[in-house]
Amino acid sequence: MKRTKIIATIGPACGSKEKIGQLIEAGINVARINFSHGDHQSNGEFIRNVKELRQEQNLPIGIMIDLQGPRIRTIVERDVEITEGELIGVFDASQKNSIPPRQEKILKFIGLDWKDIIKDIKVGNDILIEDGLIRLQVMENNNDYLTAEVKEGGTVKNHKGVNIPDAQLKIGSLTEKDEEDLKFALEQDADFIALSFVSEAKDILKLRQKMEKISGRSENLPQIVAKIERKEAIKNISEIIKTADAVMVARGDLGIEMDESRVAIYQKEIIALCLRSAKPVIVATQMLNSMIENPRPTRAEVSDVSNAVIDHADAVMLSGETAFGKYPIRSVKVMNDIIKKTEGSPFDVLAHGFLGDKKSSISSAVAHSAHELLKDTDAEAVIAASLSGFTARMVARHRPEKQIYVMTNNPKTHNQLSLVWGIRSLVLPECRTLDELIDRSIKSLIENKLVKIKSNVVIVAGRPGVSKEHMSLVKIEEVD
């Protein structure tokens, strides 16, 4: 069984129940639905198919809704050819009749579709268009429009993505479309909400408050995945990790906003911080990108996936490869194979002291003790009882070589643990005592043929009825 989880984006190429079933068989753990595409009807059908399959197969397959976020796009009536050194105008195209009059030195104008955005852009800021292929630098802000020099030219087409890395843009992380999509996601009982273009911890807090207001509850809500794709997010990464439930290293936009030569370094730094905080972390974007068109990945892509596993990411993600690529099932099988071979290598070992843990809490000390027992005894697995998933994450962050089985009485937690490294979760009825919890857990594993009679297992648990983020017990138990 692989430990690193696979997220696959569901789209037209793999959205049927039959195809999603094949994705599950190939090794996916989380189904991502990107709300930048499709509508509630088509995306709702994808969600229903996943729910039916996970119920039929009794598997914890998480459902992640990825909100589009405030994407800025170009507005042009026809393609605009621009060349290096040319001066062009950039204006706010969200308002009617907003095109400035042609100037003596400016004959070409490009619109941006975000209201009042011109006010937030300063002289010296770069404007990057279509994944940074075209670069403009702002020379003047004339209030109604910008004068920009073309640094890297090309053809500006309508509705292409725009990044302005150094501008302090006063745009929220949730648009009106996102709010409607969020309501739909809550109605569908999604397991995760991925928040695009996070800048600071406040963005996550606002989303959590919004979810509580819409749903009328604070428990059993979707977990929030903070997508790290902006320069501001890197500056505020510690607080973002502390506030979010999980983190996604969205390397596509991050590589546009930042120096691309540092993206791999940021990936490693973010994964390390998430491990120390016991927060799941996802590596995403273009992992097997060539498989959108080709049946085999490039050697560089294979290395990319392997390195994410060696970095100890909880999950790796496929986007266009499965959503609209020619080989969605094969892409998952290839990724699964790379993960297994990498995890079987001597390089997939967490270095001693990597977590930098000072055992500042009882829970971290208990998790550390469980890991040491697994290493120093013949125990074949660890059994963790977890209502919220906290205990599971604390154990998993040590990346033990033995299997982690997590028992929970919460179906939502059962599905959300699909994102956590190395976890295999099972649902148990609520137990009133610790002895009952241990007995039922072992019995369930025996019934599912997951542990052998007379083998030893490490038990990690808190007492029933105590705080959900409390671990107080670690022991070795013989299976009988």
The residues annotated with a catalytic role in the active site are 32, 73, 227, 285
Rounded to whole angstroms, the Cα distance separating 480 from 471 reads 25
Using DSSP bridges, classify how beta strands 109-112 and 72-75 pair: parallel, antiparallel or unpaired: antiparallel
Rounded to whole angstroms, the Cα distance separating 37 from 20 reads 18
Alpha carbon 227 to its chain centroid, in Å, reads: 6
**Is 223:186 a contact under the CB 8 Å cutoff?**
no
- HSE toward the beta carbon, residue 30, CA cutoff 13 A: 35
**Is 224:244 a contact under the CB 8 Å cutoff?**
yes
Q: Is 394 left (phi over 0), alpha (psi -120 to 50) or beta?
A: alpha
Burial 351-380 (b: 16+ CB within 10 A, else e): eeeebeeeeeeebbebbbbbbebbeeeebb
Rounded to whole angstroms, the Cα distance separating 375 from 137 reads 56
Q: Which of 272, 277, 280, 304 is nearest to 290 (CA)?
A: 304
- The CB-based long-range contact list for 41-48 (8 Å cut-off, 24+ gap) reads 42/15, 43/184, 44/184, 44/188, 45/15, 46/10, 46/11, 46/15, 46/20, 47/188, 47/190
Amino acid sitting at position 239: E
Q: At what angle do helices 201-215 and 176-187 cross, to 10 degrees?
A: 50
Phi (first) and psi of residue 110, to 5 degrees: -125, 130
Look at residue 180 and give its three-state secondary structure: helix
